[in-house]
Structure 1
Amino acid sequence: MKTIAEIDEKIRNGSAVVYTAAEFKRLVREGAEITAADVDVVTTGTCGVMSGTAAILSVPVAAPGTFERAERAWLNGVPCMPGPCPNERLGLLDLIVSGTAHAGTGYGGGHLFCDIVEGREIEVLAEAADRSVEARVTIDDFSYARLFTTRSAFKNYTAYVNTRPTRVKTIFSIEGLQGPCREVSVSGCGEINPLQNDPARLAIRDGTPVLLNGSIGIVTGEGTRSTPARPNLTVIADMVGMQPRYMGGFKTSAGPECITSLGAAIPVLDDRQAAPLRVLDEEIPLPVAEINTRTVLDEATYADVWQRPDREVTYHPEWCEECSACVAAAICPTAAFSRETGIDRDRCLACGTCVAACTGGACEGALGAVRIRGRRVPITLRQSSRLRAEEICRELKERILDRRFPLTGGGGG
C-alpha cells in the first residue's frame, strides 16, 4: 500500500516508475506480472468525437453603454446563447457555445473552439433590442474562456450498423450509414481509455487534475448518461494552454461534431488499482447495435478495432489518378487531406474515410472488421484516434516526470 505523498516524493527524487498505458499493456502482453509494487503511475488517454463539449466565453464587443443587453449572438456564424450573466450596458457578452452548434454543414462549435485556441480572429455578431453590434476578437481579448465536457471518456462505446437497405443520416457516419449491414462505425480508445483503467474511479475522482485538450483542468463529477457499467466524466479547463492538434471539428452526415481529448494519470496505490490496468483490448467488449433501434445485435472486442488493423492512414501520391475532383479531399471530415500536400497529421484523426473514397487506392489503411451474426462487416469509420490518445499519454507522462502536472487537486481548471 502506497500513498500519493510517497509517489510525489519519488517523482521529486527521480525514482518514480511511470508508464503510459500503452507501455504497461505491452509488458502485460509480454507476460510480465506487474503489481502495485512495480509501478507508481500509469497515464491514460482518449481522443475522438465527444458531442457533450461546450465553452463558456466572456467577450468584449463594444464600449460600455452601446447596448443594454444582447438577445442573440454568433461567433463565426455559430449560434451562441447569451447569458447567464446579462452584463447590462457593459458592452460584454457572456456566451455559452455548444460544440455541436453549427454555422453550416462544414463548420461548427468544434471548429470554432480550435480557431479560438489557435489565436485566429473571430467574427462576433450580437443582436440587441434596437441594434446589431459587430466585432473581431481573439482569445487574448476574452476575459474568460473555459471548455467543459458533459460526458467524456466513456468506459466503452457502442459500434453501429444499419440493417435497413437505405442510408441513414447519423453522427456516426460521414455520408450516411449504408445498409443492409454494409459497414460499421466505431468509437473509443479501448485499453488505454482512462475509465477503462479506473472503472471504479478510485483515482479519477471529483477534483482530480486531468489534461483536457492539453490544458490542465479538473474532473467536476460524473457526466450525463453515466452508469456504473458505462461511466463517463464531466471535466472543465481553461482554453488558454489547449493544443489545436488535440481538438477540432468533425463533419458528419447529421452535422458537425466536436473532437475532444482527455488525459488522466492513475497513481497505483495497491493491487486493487493494478488489476484493471492489466485488462487488454481482447477482453474489452464492443457491443454492435442497429442504428435505427439501438438494439444490440452482437458483440466484438476492441482488439477488432486496434490490435489487428492499422492505426493510421497513409497516402501514396504516386498512386494518385488525379481525378478531376478529389473525392477523398472533399469527404475528409477534418479537412486533413489534399492530394497536393497529402495528410496533415495535426488534423487527421485516422478515421479511414479517405480509404474508401479514393478510387485509385492512393489512400491506404486496413481498418479491420467485426462479425455480426456470422457475417464479416468492414469497419469504415473510426471516430477516435488511438495514435493521438497514445500521444496524450506520453505528454502526460513527461509532465509528471518534469513535475509540471499535479497528481492531486489544485492544478488548474
Structure 2
Amino acid sequence: MTRLQEIRERIRNKSAVVVTASEFKKQISESGQDKIIKDVDVVTCGTCGVMSGTYAVLSVPVASPGSFLRADKVALNGVPAIPGPCPNERLGLVDLIVYGTAHASSSYGGGHLFRDIISNHEIHVDVTAEKKDFQADVHGHDLPHARLFTTRSTFKNYTAIINRSDKPEKTIFSTLPLAGKSREATVSGCGEINPIENDPSLRFLTPGTQLLVNGGMGFVIGQGTRTSVARPNIAVHGEMTSMDPDYCGGFLTSAGPECLTSIGTAIPLIDENVTAGLMIRDADIPMPVMDISNRQQVSCSSYDRVWTGTAGEIRYHPNNCLNCDPCLAEKICPVHAITGSGEIDHTRCFTCGTCVHLCKGKAYTGNLGTLDLPEGDVPIVLRQSDRQRGEKISQKAKEMILKGEFQI
C-alpha cells in the first residue's frame, strides 16, 4: 500500500489527522518538525482575494419558446453579459458568459451579481432580440446552469503596487486613485497559507483534482493564463448553487468593480518533497513591488511585512468618530461593510484597511504593515486578499475531509 493509499484508507475509517496550513506551521514551531510530520496526513490551504479572471457561464430562462430567434444583447441586474456561444434558436432562453469584471455601475459589477446568484436572490434579466425587448425575473438557484470559472487564480505570489509618478493613478489595485511619489502601497495574496505557495510544483493541483471554490466543491481545469515557472497559477471551476456567498462578492476599486473569489485545497503528506513545500513561511515568500505607472518591478519585499504582527481584524471605536458627513469610510468601503451607524458588519468586512486609511478621527484601527522599499517604509493602505477567509476556507476543507466529503 502506498502512502497516498494509506492516507485515503485512514480518511475512510475516520482516523486521519488533518490540519490547516496555519495549524501545521504553528505546530512545527511549537513541537518540532519530526513529530508533526510523522503524525499529520493532510494539510489544507486557502486563499481569498480579488481574482479578475473569474467569470460565469449561465443558462437563463427569459420567455416562452418561440418568443424570439436569438438574443442580441443581455444584462443581468444591469451587468452586461455575452450571449452564446450557442444561439438557442427560439427556445426562449439564453446561454451567457458574464465576466466578474463587467459592471452595471461604479458600485455594482459581476462579482456582486455572482454573490446574488449564489445567495438565491432575484435577478432581473433584460434581453434585446430582433429589436424587441424582453424582461424576466429569476432566482439564482432556478437557473438551469450556473457554473463559475477562473482563467487564472491563486497565483503563487502576487505583486505589491506603488505609484512613482507625480499624479494619482486610477487602478484596479486601489480603492481611491493611488497616491504618487511612492506615498502608499497596496498588496494581494494570503502568503504562507496560499495553496500554491505550499504546492509550488502543482503536484496536487492537476486537472480534475477536487478543491473548494467559494466554499463549494470544484475542480482544477489546469494551469491558468500568465502562468510561469516563477509564478504558477491555476484555472478552476465549480457549481454556483453549491457555493457560499460569504466567500465571494464584488470589490470596488478606483477603476471599477472587481470580483472576490476563494479557493481551498488539500495536500497529502506522502513524501519529503511535499513536506519541504509545506515549510514555507511568510518571511520566505518574496513580494515583487511594481510601479503602476509603467507596470515594471522596482523592488521586492516579503509577505511577513503584510501578515506578521499585523491586524487580523479591523476595530471600530465609536468615541473617536467625528460624525463626518459624508463618512468617507462608509462611502468608499469596497465591500459595503460599514453600516449607517459606523459599525462594521464583520460578515462582509474584508479587513482590507480602507476605512483605517480614510478615517480622520481614527475611529477604525488596524495595523496594515509597511513595505521596506528604497524610498523607506511605505505604508500599506489596502489589502486585496482576506487572510481570515483564507483560513476559514482551509478549515472548511479540513472538516469536509474528516467527514469524507472531500476526496484526496
SS at match of 1:376: strand
- Tell me by how many angstroms 1:404 deviates: 1.4
How many Å apart are 1:2 and its aligned residue?
A: 4.3
CA positional deviation for 1:343: 1.3
Query: What does the per-residue CA deviation read over 1:246-269, in whole Å, with 9 as the maximum and x for residues that have no partner?
Result: 000000011100000000001111
After superposition, the CA RMSD in angstroms is 1.3
Give the letter aligned to residue 128 of structure 2.
E
Q: Deviations 1:152-196 (Å, cap 9, x if unpaired)?
A: 100000101001121001000111110101100000000000000
Q: For structure 1, which segment, 381-390 or 8-17, has the greater mean C-alpha deviation from structure 2 after superposition?
A: 8-17
* AA at the equivalent of 2:220: V
Distance in 2 of aligned mates of 1:370 and 1:299: 9
Contact 1:55 1:147 in 2 (8 A): yes
The total of aligned residue pairs comes to: 407
Structure 1: 4+ residue segments shifted above 6 A:
none
State yes or no: 1:67 paired with 2:68.
Answer: yes
2:10 counterpart SS class: helix
**Normalization by structure 2: what TM-score?**
0.97
Q: Does 1:187 align with 2:191?
A: no
Give SS of 2:74's match.
Answer: strand
Contact 2:330 2:342 in 1 (8 A): no
SS at 2:97 equivalent: strand
Q: Is the 8 A contact 1:109 1:258 kept in 2?
A: yes
Q: How many angstroms apart in 2 are the aligned matches of 1:247 and 1:73?
A: 23
- Where does structure 2 lack aligned partners over 5 or more consecutive residues? none
Q: Is the 8 A contact 1:168 1:176 kept in 2?
A: yes
Distance (whole Å) between structure 2 residues aligned to residue 38 and residue 121 of structure 1: 48
Distance 1:292 1:348 in 2: 29
- Contact residue 300 and residue 371 of structure 1 kept, 8 A: yes
Query: Within 2, Cα distance between the matches of 1:205 and 1:376?
Result: 39
**Quick check: 1:282–1:301 contact (8 Å CA) kept in 2?**
yes
1:308-359 residue CA offsets vs partner (Å, 9 max, x unmatched): 2112211112222212211100010010112516111221110000011111
1:13 positional shift: 2.1
Q: Map of 1:41-120 to 2, 5 A cutoff?
A: 41-120=42-121
- Which structure 2 residues correspond to residues 10-409 of structure 1 after superposition, within 5 A? 10-30=10-30, 32-34=32-34, 36-340=37-341, 342-407=343-408
Tell me the secondary structure at the aligned position of residue 240 of structure 1. helix
The offset of 1:294, in angstroms, is: 2.0
Deviates more, 1:9-18 or 1:184-193: 9-18
Contact 1:162 1:168 in 2 (8 A): yes
Rounded to whole Å, the distance in 2 between the matches of 1:346 and 1:149 is 24
Q: Which amino acid aligns with 2:121?
A: R
What is the CA–CA distance in structure 1 between the aligned matches of 2:140 and 2:288, rounded to whole Å? 41
CA contact (8 A) 2:318 2:342 kept: no
- Say if 1:111 and 1:248, in contact at 8 Å, map to a contact too: yes
Letter in 1 for 2:78: G
Higher mean C-alpha displacement, 331-340 vs 180-189: 331-340
TM-score (norm 1): 0.96
Q: Tell me, yes or no, if the aligned pair for 1:24 and 1:42 is still in contact at 8 Å.
A: yes
Q: Distance in 1 between matches of 2:124 and 2:93?
A: 15
SS, match of residue 33 in structure 2: coil
C-alpha distance in structure 2 between counterparts of 1:326 and 1:374, whole Å: 32
Unaligned runs of 5+ in 1: 408-413
Q: How many angstroms apart in 1 are the aligned matches of 2:3 and 2:146?
A: 35
